[in-house]
Amino acid sequence: MAGQFSGTPIFVLREGSQRTAGREAQRSNIMAAKAVAGAVRTTLGPKGMDKMMVDTMGDVVITNDGVTILKEMDIEHPAAKMMVEIAKTQDTEVGDGTTTAVILAGELLKQSEELLEQDIHPTVIAAGYRAAADKCMEILQSLAIKVTANDQDLLNSIAITAMTGKGSQAAREKLADIAVRAVQAVVDEDGSVDTDNITVEKKVGGSISDSKIVQGVVIDKDRLHPSMPKKVTDAKIALLNAAVEIEKTEVDAKIQITSPAQLQSFLDQEESMLKGMVDRIAATGANVLFVQKGIDDLAQHYLAKAGIYTVRRVKKSDMEKLARATGGRVVTSLHEISVDDLGKAGLVEERKVSDEKMTFVEDCNNPKSVSIILHGGTEHVVDELD
């Protein structure tokens, strides 16, 4: 019996799985890749059509952006998954041309299928494509022109080209101008741009043309107390990564109170400690406070009395953007806070945007972090603009 099966490998596969090899596997892989390319082919170009996709949760996405379509598609085939990776890589590295990259890959595979039929080895075909890619790079380098951060017209043209065929085409001149101004604001001295320093807030309501750039940061939170000023000009901003609360002790302890007077003295001490915290902040001359953690109710009262515009539980990423935009420093201890740590902004104001209150930190001197507010009639429109 053993001799009967010697030399013949036995494969144990899971139920429902298939095993293909040789020419059949090649055909299957090429067919899957062509199917993915075919799915996004009709979205290409100025006259490309939008796709409507509904996921398992019933959420609807309407877009003609190649990478968005492929991310939403539920793909099982390994070769087809590689096509999705092409689109994701293109999106991460370049930010545009995702559909083109997938269609070109599909077309190259289609051509290679004919060569495989002529019994040309896959490695020979791959070597040919590699040589062609090198030649393409050589030609592109000879056609390329240098672009600097100050070439406003050229950068606008590039942004408009990237938007052609997208849902944002209707207001592409305005959106291109917003995008270019945002990038120019956050560009570093070495010419590199970190797009994480550009905050994009999506708000349903109004038209696309209402979208605008804010030379500073927009925080999706309102002021903490109604008695605090709604608008602060010539703002001196304190950024605090510590709670304005009485901290609980690290060790378990019991305190025995025998009279109401003792209890009152504990409460008085807590009150004076909170007042001392607020006094330390006010002593620096700060009139705006952004806190990453919590603020005690009593401390809120003292901050309102001191006329300090306060926002609590601000995200860490927003704190970093505020520091870049205002030139301030995020302080981790109240005892260490000083005048040198404060950031500056021409205006800090609470405004209502599409039924939501938001804090605008504007008119920063050379802000290295800016915000874009996008408006659109429906949620799908705003998502496509984003």
Put simply, whether the predicted model's pTM sits higher than 0.75 gets the answer: no
Is the pLDDT at 16 greater than 70? The verdict is no
pLDDT of residue 1: 45
Which of 13-17, 133-137, 274-278, 360-364 is the least confident region?
13-17
Q: Where do the CATH 1.10.560.10 domains begin and end in the chain?
A: 17-141
Predicted local distance difference test score (pLDDT) of residue 20: 61
**Domain(s) of CATH 3.50.7.10: residues in the chain:** 222-246+271-347
Residue 2 has pLDDT above 50, yes or no: no
Q: What pLDDT, on the 0 to 100 scale, is given for residue 258?
A: 79
Q: Give the closest residue to 324 by CA, choosing from 360, 366, 270.
A: 366
As a whole number, mean pLDDT of residues 363-372 equals: 80
Mean pLDDT of 55-70: 79
Q: For position 373, what pLDDT does the model report?
A: 83
Q: What is the pLDDT of residues 316-361, one digit of tens each?
A: 888 888 888 888 888 888 888 888 888 888 888 888 877 788 888 8
How far, in Å, are 2, 91, 132, 148, 149 from residue 189 at the CA level?
Answer: 73, 25, 36, 12, 10
- The mean of the pLDDT values for the chain is 81
222-246+271-347: CATH number: 3.50.7.10
Q: How confident is the model at residue 49 (pLDDT cuts 50, 70, 90)?
A: confident
Fold of 17-141: GROEL; domain 1 (1.10.560)
**Range 72-91 average pLDDT:** 84
